[in-house]
Amino acid sequence: MIKIYLFFTFVIYPFLPLFLKVRMLFNKECPIRFKEKLGKVKSNDCDNIIWFHVASLGEIKSIHSIIKHYQKNKNLNILITSVTQSSYEYFKENLQSYNTHHQYAPLDNPVIISKFLKNWKPKLSIFIESEIWPNMILQTSKVSKIILLNCRISKKSFKKWKMFKTTFKNIMTKFDYILPQSRETLNFLEYFDLNKTKHIGNLKFTNIEKNNPNIIKINDSKNSWVAMSMHYEEINDIIETHLKVNEKIKNLTTYIIPRHLNKIDKIIKKIENKKIQYQQISSNNFIKKFNGIVIIDKFGLAEDIFNQIKIVFMGGSFIDHGGQNPIEPLKYDCKVLSGENIFNFAEIYNELVNKKLAELVNKKDLINKLTNFFEKEDINQNTNMKFDDYSVTIFNKTIKFLDSYILNEKNF
């Protein structure tokens, strides 16, 4: 199977420049730097290079705190390769430094990978999540130690690789170590008899830098909750929840952060039909003991809300959408609730529910849970730890593991 793949990638090599140029026409490639994906880069004069390879924006965000930590070591040079333009923009705004470099990832072709490795000569190579490219892995394992960090294997991928068990195992054994992000992935790896594994936790929990724009002024956050990233199809449920909870808890304030701002007018009409007071944040950013619904009709204000309101329901989970990522409100120690349709983030929610950092509820449960919180005035009940504590634990354990390679010359 691997030999067939290698042969195919050799055959298509002459056509790859044309492939990238076609993608440029659709604005899917950087017109200035697309040649980097063909292995055409400036000569590198750095040494002691630690290479982190990510796919896109989500993966580069997940290693944000790891990169920041190793940037402090003046004896190291860090190379980050990524595939998408959005990941580069994130790098440029958040991680660019005198000892940290970015290149668009080389295509998984043996000729291109060979050029890349000869130029950069990494001492340690760290692939993030599900970046399993045969040529890249096989060739890199010949020139440096290689680690698969925050490994993720979805159920769909697992079913696919089960049909090619020997091939998958032959590729994955090239990694010196694999750190799965969840116990589910750990179980999948054990099916393939891969022993060099260590479960620490999900690196996506470690990027906890906060952004407090301090635009919204809330005079009294008591009896307030947030419905975050709500789809239009869920608005009726949130309005009904507001009305039911408000029967028992007076002066309730519900903050709705819509998923799509082009539906604001329709959302307002639904609220007006129920004769509920409402306020749009674009018209008035000061909320003073408001009994009604506050509509966050501008982008970029969610973290400002989380910094002041500590109960958050994540949208996209009462409908067949798959839920939304709960990490952002958790950074602010918010109590996170979600509906049960969270298949897009099942592994994350499983971890958080086990740690009692999040709860899954149905529509009736949401009403009862909110009422209970407000009556007891204790949103952190049944919580074993704060998210920050959990995040720091994962970060420290990951650094300790990586240090055993990066700071130990014997491992190179």
Percent of the chain with pLDDT over 70: 97
pLDDT tens, 9-48? 888 888 898 898 888 888 888 888 888 999 888 777 888 9
Check whether 412 has a pLDDT greater than 90.
no
Looking at residue 382, its pLDDT comes to: 44
Question: 233 falls in which pLDDT band (50, 70, 90)?
Answer: very high
Looking at residue 377, its pLDDT comes to: 65
For residue 359, give Cα distances in angstroms to 181, 269, 313.
20, 31, 10
156-173: b (≥16 Cβ within 10 Å) or e: eebeebeeeeeebeebbb
Burial class from Cβ neighbours inside 10 Å (0-12, 13-18, 19+) for residue 56 reads: middle
Helix (H, G, I), strand (E, B) or coil at 162: helix
Check whether 378 has a pLDDT greater than 70.
no
Per the CB < 8 A criterion, the answer to whether 373 and 379 are in contact is yes
Q: How far apart are CA 209 and CA 367, in angstroms?
A: 32
pLDDT tens, 85-102? 899 999 999 999 999 999
| Predicted TM-score of the model (pTM) | 0.82
pLDDT tens, 1-20? 777 887 788 888 888 988 98
**Phi/psi of residue 278, nearest 5 degrees:** -145, 160
Burial class from Cβ neighbours inside 10 Å (0-12, 13-18, 19+) for residue 344 reads: middle
Pairing, β 77-82 against β 49-53:
parallel
Residue 277 DSSP code: -
Domains in the chain (CATH in brackets) are 2-199 (3.40.50.11720), 217-386 (3.40.50.2000)
Q: How far apart are CA 187 and CA 193, in angstroms?
A: 10
Tell me what the mean pLDDT of segment 58-82 comes to: 95
Tell me what the mean pLDDT of segment 287-313 comes to: 93
pLDDT tens, 275-294? 999 999 999 999 988 999 99
